[in-house]
């Protein structure tokens, strides 16, 4: 195969560009650069060892979770051509189902918390994943005939219906077949305890006390959970790579590139699309369980469309159709746009003494008219969440215009075992040199 030329590889010296070929090197190098930036930022902010470890833990936590989401979106859009913008809805189904299944049954639970079905966590997780996959099936089955943009609208509407249902006060607590369960409505619901935290509170407590002289105790369970999530990420990556490299995956790529041609090869494209969609939705359900569910508390406000948007931008940064790209896109997204604004704000506050904080835009504007820029600067930096979304939007549009295939967009995965295009290219260049005399 020919040497891949990409935006990064072409800027590296030849001796290094060879290593860049390796996907693990790409991911590792990107991660190392982002880690280094955060360690430097931590040093500048005067973090101790525990502070540094916690800052990196949060970074890794988000990178791993966004990577899982991005891998699924890549399976749907990058490999199967399914335009799913209801990602967050399937996550909500997974985590809400698991929560309701694990909540203690009525009468056995501490007062003031919602009852559930009292099942053990592993069974509840299986239930949550199956529920998300089932909702995926319901969403996809009739939508197969639809055009891409209609499919997008349907998935988005599904996600919104799920959010509205979770928010509805009628379902906050209700009794069905003599069992009282509930979603908690707009107030939210407490989820299940994190087994890793439980381990370090129980049998693993000596480990925590052994290190508590040098670092903060909660960091142990925090990092252990992040490592467990990384194992999940590796498993998801393995599963998706297995899928897309199998004959099944070749059909998916065929559908993405030309559905009619694939149909003409007697492939039952609808069935392939549905199966790909369901697998992805199941993984999204699991993602919700390990992400929002692990935080101890969920409410409908967590499952807003902007989370879908964030996962999508990670895929678009990396380039659809590339698993490595999805992971690197997640690293870059979390490292820069997602967590970056908060760190920039803290660094500015650390080194530049700004006074005159404005609590709203007209005040900031008034200060600016008076020749004081610190008001508007501080106001802007305080709006971290708005800034994050606006930056993401600007980046998205820029990428679509300048680099629609993302960072690794030059990478073309071939569905055939021989490179047909290269033969065509060879023939064209021969024709050009011989002057096409025939």
Partner 1 sequence: MKWKSHVPLRFIDTVRERLPFSEHAIKVAAVIFGLAVLFDMFRQLTTGELTIALIVSYLWRGLSYGLVIGLAGVGLSLTYDLLDFANFAHGDYITLSAFVGWGVAYLIAGFGQFKAGSLLFLGVGGTVYPRDVGISVTNAPVAILFGLVVAALVGALLAIALDSAVYKSMRGAGNITLLIASVGVAFILRYAAVYLFTQQTFGLTADSWSYEVGLPGGIVTITSASLLLIFVSLLMMLGVHLLLTRTKLGKSMRAMAANQQLARVTGIPSEKIIRRTWLIGGALAGIAGFMIALLQGTINYQIGWTLLLLVFAGVIMGGIGSVYGAIVGGILVGLITRVSLIWIPASFTEATGFAVMILILLTRPAGIFGGDVA
Q: Choose, by CB under 8 A, the member of 260, 352, 418, 432 that binds partner 1.
A: 260
Cβ of residue 76: shortest distance to partner 1, in angstroms? 13
Of 123 and 161, CB closest to partner 1: 161
Of 246, 194, 241, 239, residue with least CA distance to 221: 194
Q: Choose, by CB under 8 A, the member of 5, 21, 170, 426 that binds partner 1.
A: 170
Of 218 and 366, CB closest to partner 1: 366
Stretch touching partner 1 by CB under 8 A, among 31-39, 42-50, 327-335, 379-387: 379-387
Which residues are registered as beta bridge partners of 304? none
Interaction of residue 158 with partner 1, rule CB under 8 A: yes
Interaction of residue 372 with partner 1, rule CB under 8 A: no
CB 280 within 8 A of CB 84: yes
CB 8 within 8 A of CB 20: yes
Q: Choose, by CB under 8 A, the member of 143, 191, 194, 330 that binds partner 1.
A: 143
Stretch touching partner 1 by CB under 8 A, among 114-122, 128-136, 160-168, 422-430: 160-168
H runs (alpha helix) in 84-194: 87-102, 121-140, 148-167
Distances (CA, A) of 112 to 35, 88, 109, 184, 249: 42, 28, 8, 11, 49
H runs (alpha helix) in 291-419: 305-318, 323-332, 340-351, 361-369, 374-382, 384-402
Interaction of residue 153 with partner 1, rule CB under 8 A: yes
Interaction of residue 154 with partner 1, rule CB under 8 A: yes
Stretch touching partner 1 by CB under 8 A, among 20-28, 227-235, 331-339, 357-365: 357-365
The CA distance from 300 to 219, in Å, is: 28
Interaction of residue 322 with partner 1, rule CB under 8 A: no
Stretch touching partner 1 by CB under 8 A, among 23-31, 91-99, 164-172, 412-420: 164-172
The CA distance from 35 to 28, in Å, is: 10
**Contacts (CB under 8 A) with partner 1, residues 84-113:** 85
The CA distance from 128 to 97, in Å, is: 5
Tell me whether residue 122 is exposed, middle or buried, using C-beta atoms within 10 angstroms of its C-beta: 0 to 12, 13 to 18, 19 or more: exposed
Return the H-helix or E-strand segment holding 242: helix 218-245
Of 44 and 164, CB closest to partner 1: 164
Interaction of residue 394 with partner 1, rule CB under 8 A: yes
Stretch touching partner 1 by CB under 8 A, among 44-52, 122-130, 192-200, 268-276: 268-276
The angle that helices 384-402 and 305-318 make with each other, rounded to 10 degrees, is: 40
Of 4 and 172, CB closest to partner 1: 172
Cβ of residue 319: shortest distance to partner 1, in angstroms? 13
Distances (CA, A) of 298 to 65, 99, 133, 406: 16, 9, 20, 33
Interaction of residue 344 with partner 1, rule CB under 8 A: no
Q: How many binding residues for partner 1 (CB under 8 A)?
A: 60
Q: Choose, by CB under 8 A, the member of 8, 39, 134, 144 that binds partner 1.
A: 144
On the CB side of 406, CA atoms within 13 Å amount to 27
CB 73 within 8 A of CB 296: no
Which residues are registered as beta bridge partners of 181? 174
**Contacts (CB under 8 A) with partner 1, residues 27-86:** 83, 85
Interaction of residue 303 with partner 1, rule CB under 8 A: no
SS3 320: coil
Cβ of residue 431: shortest distance to partner 1, in angstroms? 28
Binding site for partner 1 (CB under 8 A): 83, 85, 141-150, 152-154, 156-158, 160-161, 164-165, 167-170, 260, 263-264, 268-271, 305-306, 309, 312, 316, 359-363, 365-366, 380, 383, 385-387, 389-390, 392-394, 396-397, 400-401, 404
């Amino acid at each position: 195969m020919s040497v891949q030329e990409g935006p990064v590889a072409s800027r590296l010296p030849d001796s290094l560009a060879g290593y860049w070929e390796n996907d693990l090197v790409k991911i590792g190098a990107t991660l190392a650069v982002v880690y280094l930036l955060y360690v430097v930022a931590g040093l500048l902010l005067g973090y101790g060892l525990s502070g540094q470890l916690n800052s990196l833990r949060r970074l890794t936590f988000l990178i791993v979770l966004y990577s899982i989401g991005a891998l699924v979106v890549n399976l749907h859009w990058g490999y199967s051509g399914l335009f799913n913008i209801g990602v967050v809805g399937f996550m909500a189904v997974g985590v809400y189902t698991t929560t309701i299944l694990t909540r203690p049954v009525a009468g056995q639970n501490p007062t003031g918390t919602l009852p559930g079905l009292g099942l053990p966590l592993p069974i509840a997780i299986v239930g949550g994943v199956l529920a998300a996959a089932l909702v995926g099936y319901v969403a996809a089955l009739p939508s197969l005939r639809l055009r891409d943009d209609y499919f997008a609208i349907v998935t988005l509407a599904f996600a919104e219906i799920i959010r509205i249902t979770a928010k509805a006060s009628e379902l906050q607590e209700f009794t069905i077949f003599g069992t009282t369960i509930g979603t908690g409505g707009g107030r939210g619901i407490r989820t299940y305890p994190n087994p890793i935290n439980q381990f370090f509170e129980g049998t693993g407590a000596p480990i925590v006390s052994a290190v508590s002289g040098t670092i903060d105790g909660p960091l142990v369970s925090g990092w252990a959970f992040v490592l467990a999530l990384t194992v999940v990420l590796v498993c998801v990556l393995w599963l998706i790579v297995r899928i897309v490299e199998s004959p099944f995956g070749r059909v998916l790529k065929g559908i993405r590139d030309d559905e009619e041609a694939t149909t003409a090869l007697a492939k039952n494209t609808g069935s392939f699309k549905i199966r790909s969609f369901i697998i992805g939705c199941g993984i999204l359900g699991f993602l919700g369980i390990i992400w929002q569910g692990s935080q101890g508390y969920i409410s409908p406000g967590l499952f807003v469309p902007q989370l879908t948007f964030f996962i999508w931008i990670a895929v678009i940064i990396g380039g659809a159709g590339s698993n490595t790209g999805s992971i690197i896109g997640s690293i870059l997204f979390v490292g820069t746009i997602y967590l970056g604004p908060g760190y920039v704000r803290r660094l500015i506050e650390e080194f530049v003494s700004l006074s005159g904080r404005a609590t709203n835009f007209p005040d900031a504007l008034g200060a600016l008219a008076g020749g004081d820029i610190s008001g508007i600067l501080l106001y802007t930096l305080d709006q971290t969440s708005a800034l994050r979304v606006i930056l993401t939007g600007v980046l998205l549009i820029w990428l679509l215009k300048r680099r629609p295939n993302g960072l690794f967009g030059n990478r073309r995965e071939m569905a055939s075992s021989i490179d047909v295009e290269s033969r065509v290219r060879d023939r064209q260049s021969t024709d050009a040199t011989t002057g096409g005399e025939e």
